[in-house]
Amino acid sequence: MKTLHVGLIGAGFMAKAHSLAYDGMPMCFWPAPAMPHKKVIADLSQERADTAAMQFRFDKGTANWQDIIRDPEIDIVDICTPNDAHAEIAIAAAEAGKHIICEKPISRTLNEAKKMYEAVKKAGVVNMLCFNYRMTPAVQLAKKYLAEGSIGDILDFRGTYLQDWSADPASPLSWRFQKAICGSGAFGDIATHVVDMLRFLLGDFAEINARMATYIKERPVQSGSIDKLGTVKGGDGPRGKVEVDDQCCLCVKTASGAFGTIEATRNAWGRNNYITFEIHGTQGSLYFNYERRDELQVCFASDPGDRRGFRTVYTGPAHPYGEALWPIPALGIGYTETKIVELHKFFDAVVNKKPVSPDFEDGYNIELIGEAAFKSAESGRWEKVGTIG
Ligand code: SOE
């Protein structure tokens, strides 16, 4: 069996998720398209890289990510850094002919997204963007219902991504609040996941009317660069300005004529990873909540009136990816499983020279949606979503 050699850049919490997926992918999807070999992990200092190499089981660590790009044995460049490094690394990797898997959002700006998209297109390398939530079996089942027309013509939808890790004003000013590093706040960090799922389910977005708000204007400056997502208090040290959106609310018209809303905030006390969508059609409705991610709720208008209501389909071996994962329903799908499915798709695309989705083109399209949303938040008007090219 072929082996693909991996160089991973950025040893934070996403490196843990990706490393678990490299180990778990062949265990679930056997025979695997290729065996992953975790060769090099890069972080900002040699000490941190060496520790990460031990923890995540890479052969070695490096403080210089360019070592990975220059290494002729590396097939895959895996980008898990904060957003400001995505473009530079991805463009260098594409020019070196490496296949790329990159954490979301694609970049900080539209211009960076464009350059990344053009670089992978020119190089002809496989490129994947990690919007992993659409890999949840229940989300894929929703796609199946929609493709079969089971709920009729789509009228409207609502999506949310609500968390509370930054609701405390004492939680630190990490890179996720500094525009020069992250590009945007709740929009880029979390709304993009819901945008990806709804584009996957319902097609392109045509127009946006948005509101963005920043509630907590200053936070204690974080010492050290590892982002603890609000679990570590910043203390009494100096405070810095929050430069990005805490909350965003988008009204959306899709190209197919459906209307919907998407809300995202990381300041909603009591909400943890509350990713939901509800879709209403002329013949029924679908509802998904990632906090109950094994389940999809469906309601059919054709059910007799005295039986009509949401029923819960509990996903398992009969559903997308189910056979590869666990042998009976309710053993539970977790974050790692979504990453395993994602990685399998990526490896399959690299080995079998197939396209993969979501890719940098999707990431660029989502940046175009972001551009329309931020423009609308300024203008107060509906703004058209731009197109590639
Ligand atoms: C923080 O909001 C975060 O880590 C996001 O960056 C991830 O994309 C999300 O899946 C979990 O929460």
* Per-residue pLDDT tens digits for 286-307: 999 999 999 999 999 999 999 9
The preferred substitution site among 190, 265, 275 for testing ligand 1, maximizing ligand atoms within 8 Å of CB, is 190
Task: Please tell me the least confidently modeled range out of 83-92, 131-140, 304-313, 326-335.
Answer: 326-335
**What would the pLDDT profile of 10-37 be if each residue is shown by its tens digit?**
999 999 999 999 999 999 999 999 999 9
Contact call for residues 382 and 208 (beta carbons, < 8 A): yes
pLDDT of residue 229: 77
Ligand 1: nearest atom to the Cα of 266: 2
Q: What is the 3-state secondary structure (H, E, C) of the chain?
A: CCEEEEEEECCCHHHHHHHHHHHHHHHHCCCCCCEEEEEEEECCCHHHHHHHHHHHCCCEEECCCHHHHHCCCCCEEEECCCHHHHHHHHHHHHHCCCEEEEECCCCCCHHHHHHHHHHHHHHCCCEEEECHHHHCHHHHHHHHHHHCCCCCCEEEEEEEEECCCCCCCCCCECHHHCHHHHCCCHHHHHHHHHHHHHHHHHCCEEEEEEEEECCCCEEEECCCCCCCCCCCCCCCCCEEECCCCCEEEEEEEECCCCEEEEEEECCCCCCCCEEEEEEEECCEEEEEEHHHCCEEEEEECCCCCCCCCCEEEECCCCCCCCCCCCCCCCCCCCHHHHHHHHHHHHHHHHHHCCCCCCCHHHHHHHHHHHHHHHHHHHHCCCEECCCCC
Q: Considering the chain, what is the average pLDDT of its residues?
A: 96
Q: Ligand 1 centroid vs 190 CA: distance in angstroms? A: 6
CA angle 235, 214, 198 (to 5 degrees): 115
Domains of the chain: 3-133 (3.40.50.720), 134-333+366-379 (3.30.360.10)
Q: What's the predicted TM-score (pTM) here?
A: 0.97
Q: Ligand 1 centroid vs 343 CA: distance in angstroms? A: 18
pLDDT of residue 104: 98
**What would the pLDDT profile of 159-195 be if each residue is shown by its tens digit?**
999 999 999 998 889 999 999 999 999 999 999 999 9
Q: Ligand 1 centroid vs 11 CA: distance in angstroms? A: 15
Q: Ligand 1 centroid vs 336 CA: distance in angstroms? A: 13
Q: What is the mean pLDDT of residues 100-126?
A: 98
Other C-beta atoms closer than 10 Å to the C-beta of 374 total 19
- C-alpha span between 142 and 47 (Å, rounded): 45
- C-alpha span between 39 and 245 (Å, rounded): 37
Has residue 226 got a pLDDT over 90?
Answer: no
- C-alpha span between 295 and 317 (Å, rounded): 13
Ligand 1: nearest atom to the Cα of 193: 8
Ligand 1: nearest atom to the Cα of 13: 4
Strand partners, 311: 298
**What would the pLDDT profile of 243-289 be if each residue is shown by its tens digit?**
999 999 999 999 999 999 999 999 999 999 999 999 999 999 999 99
Q: Whose CA is nearest to atom 6 of ligand 1?
A: 189
pLDDT of residue 233: 62
- C-alpha span between 190 and 166 (Å, rounded): 13
Q: Whose CA is nearest to atom 10 of ligand 1?
A: 190
What is the residue whose two structure tokens read 């890790």? 165
More confident position, 95 or 172: 95
Has residue 235 got a pLDDT over 70?
Answer: no
Cα→Cα distances 179→167, 186, 187, Å: 18, 12, 12
Q: Ligand 1 centroid vs 102 CA: distance in angstroms? A: 14
Phi, psi of 246 (to 5 degrees): -85, -35
Cα dihedral sign for 373, 286, 336, 165?
positive
**What would the pLDDT profile of 143-158 be if each residue is shown by its tens digit?**
999 999 999 999 999 9
pLDDT of residue 89: 98
Q: Ligand 1 centroid vs 229 CA: distance in angstroms? A: 9
Ligand 1: nearest atom to the Cα of 335: 10
Pocket lined around ligand 1, Cβ cut-off 6 Å: 163, 189-190, 229, 266
Q: Ligand 1 centroid vs 163 CA: distance in angstroms? A: 9
The preferred substitution site among 189, 196, 339 for testing ligand 1, maximizing ligand atoms within 8 Å of CB, is 189
Ligand 1: nearest atom to the Cα of 14: 4
Cα→Cα distances 53→7, 100, 202, 250, 269, Å: 11, 20, 41, 41, 36
Instruction: Return all residues near 43 (Cβ < 8 A) that are at least 6 apart.
Output: 9, 10, 11, 49, 52, 61, 63
Q: Ligand 1 centroid vs 249 CA: distance in angstroms? A: 18
Instruction: Return all residues near 29 (Cβ < 8 A) that are at least 6 apart.
Output: 324, 340, 344
CA angle 8, 199, 286 (to 5 degrees): 115
Q: Ligand 1 centroid vs 80 CA: distance in angstroms? A: 12
**What would the pLDDT profile of 65-75 be if each residue is shown by its tens digit?**
999 999 999 99
pLDDT band (50, 70, 90) for residue 225: low
